[in-house]
Structure 1
């Protein structure tokens, strides 16, 4: 590495010393290496839905090296005007929910990140796909597995990619735990616990409207425990049981779950015991137990920093802005064909939706529901 660095330095000095544009092989080599090391293709993104999370993503993109915010789609004209100024977005890249199909004729936009209420994702992603643009859908990708599969099918038919906003799939401490598990450092996995919840505020927000959210805590915070159990254990569950508790039916109306405890069974015999709630704070914890060791992550899925410890000591991977890493990694997936350690494609999203469908069915019937995620 030292020899290579000295070589490049000499090449650079040689190029600067030349007074005439005579061909210099050392300078040419430097140019070639620089061409391959910089200016990878940039993912030009329009954000659809300019709420709190859309704003968080927009801010994170400002630190990206391979992703650029170039457009907005919103039903609120004042937000569009604010974002145009704040992020220097040209008027021709601004759309509303009625006219955004026109992105088909806009070569400045490569992909649309859909960050709207859950029930809107299906139709919006399908429209994005028909416009010939890659789609990124915030999770959960839809309100049920059938809608999720329709989104996958539409993107496949249009020849575009569908990615899901699984930011934890790129988080360094999470990836280190997955590496340790794959390396056998925890031995045979025996048990997983996922606790996800907080006390939700404004009773009039869209998350408490079943027509927009498709459910309550499960469709918001509970999906982290579902998805986390799969990547922490490294298997796909084959059955689920679930129980619902509702202490405030006025706030948590029909179709909005307040608290659900659920259990997942895996082929190796591992059991996952999880909790999803809108009625308890300080619940953001994963625990994985194996025959040779254990890991606890707390916080496990919050915006950061993620903290954790194993039987061997603390996790101390770099602290990152999750959405910044996610967006640059998605650029590599779309343009370079990069394969992430844990998938973030539409098929991955459909698997989680199948589990959520089964959890709701188990709550309703009181029975163990079999799963087939293949």
Structure 2
């Protein structure tokens, strides 16, 4: 019924298009492609073949995450003011594909950083309208040209909220989302790890039962593919494309040192 593409980032574009031409629905790991141009090509190919394209956003089905989104949608936090997303770990084997520019398309941003980008969007509940970004590299031998070690980035949202995020391959114990609003707060820590997600808000601890992320992701995606179900947070190709446009803008901001405006 469907093919799940979990290969290195540089292979996604070609493989997804080949799967679509074969008439199969596609689930593609994130980031969906190396850049927004490739992502757009994948979306067009799937539309032409009349197959569905989903992106492997497992956190979009995680119970504590969805509870915070429910509370925000019902106005329990009031106006959203600020989001912080810290995502990182110290990467091991220097020869792995994730540290190869040709295969990965970048460094930490193309792996762990996308969680902060996507998390900011679903926690704030809006798409950003600008980004700024700064890169830090302490080990250029391990993190070669075009492979980012650490990037700090900021995003502004139309409702006035600002996000401050960190993506790194050089620091452990960074897995936290924090949302500050006029009437309360929400925190997830760990926020994206494979073990139990822990969360609390200004109203107390979140006690939704832990679920195996991939199990619920695949169950829900099967319903989307077979039954046309709509997920609370989108997981389609257009969702993946938005994150790619933001990544493109972050890399541009790193190079130029300037704020980059976004139209998603």
TM-score normalised by structure 2 residue count? 1.00
Ranges in structure 2 where 5+ consecutive residues have no aligned partner? none
Structure 1 position 160, deviation (Å): 0.2
1:179 aligns with 2:70: yes
Count of residue pairs the alignment pairs up: 264
1:191 aligns with 2:82: yes
* Corresponding residue number in structure 2 for 1:253: 144
Match of 1:264 among 140, 144, 155: 155
* Corresponding residue number in structure 1 for 2:254: 363
1:310 aligns with 2:213: no
1:132 aligns with 2:23: yes
Matches within 5 A, 1:278-289: 278-289=169-180
1:331 aligns with 2:229: no
1:236 aligns with 2:127: yes
State how far apart, in whole Å, the 2-side matches of 1:111 and 1:326 are. Answer: 14
Q: Which has the higher helix share?
A: 1
Match of 1:143 among 19, 34, 50: 34
State how far apart, in whole Å, the 1-side matches of 2:235 and 2:185 are. Answer: 26
State how far apart, in whole Å, the 1-side matches of 2:3 and 2:102 are. Answer: 23
State how far apart, in whole Å, the 1-side matches of 2:216 and 2:134 are. Answer: 36
1:214 aligns with 2:105: yes
Matches within 5 A, 1:100-115: 110-115=1-6
State how far apart, in whole Å, the 2-side matches of 1:225 and 1:357 are. Answer: 15
State how far apart, in whole Å, the 1-side matches of 2:190 and 2:33 are. Answer: 26
Match of 1:297 among 179, 188, 210: 188
* Corresponding residue number in structure 2 for 1:275: 166
State how far apart, in whole Å, the 2-side matches of 1:355 and 1:304 are. Answer: 28
Match of 2:91 among 197, 200, 216: 200
Structure 1 position 273, deviation (Å): 0.2
State how far apart, in whole Å, the 1-side matches of 2:113 and 2:235 are. Answer: 18
State how far apart, in whole Å, the 1-side matches of 2:221 and 2:199 are. Answer: 26
Deviation sequence 1:37-92 (CA, Å, 0-9, x none): xxxxxxxxxxxxxxxxxxxxxxxxxxxxxxxxxxxxxxxxxxxxxxxxxxxxxxxx
State how far apart, in whole Å, the 2-side matches of 1:251 and 1:221 are. Answer: 17
Structure 1 position 304, deviation (Å): 2.0
* Corresponding residue number in structure 1 for 2:244: 353
Match of 2:54 among 158, 163, 178: 163
User: Which structure has more RCO (C-alpha within 8 Å, separation ≥ 6)?
Assistant: 2
State how far apart, in whole Å, the 2-side matches of 1:296 and 1:174 are. Answer: 10
Ranges in structure 1 where 5+ consecutive residues have no aligned partner? 1-109
* Corresponding residue number in structure 2 for 1:226: 117
Q: Over aligned residue pairs, what C-alpha RMSD do you find?
A: 0.4
Structure 1 stretches of 4+ with a deviation exceeding 2 A read none
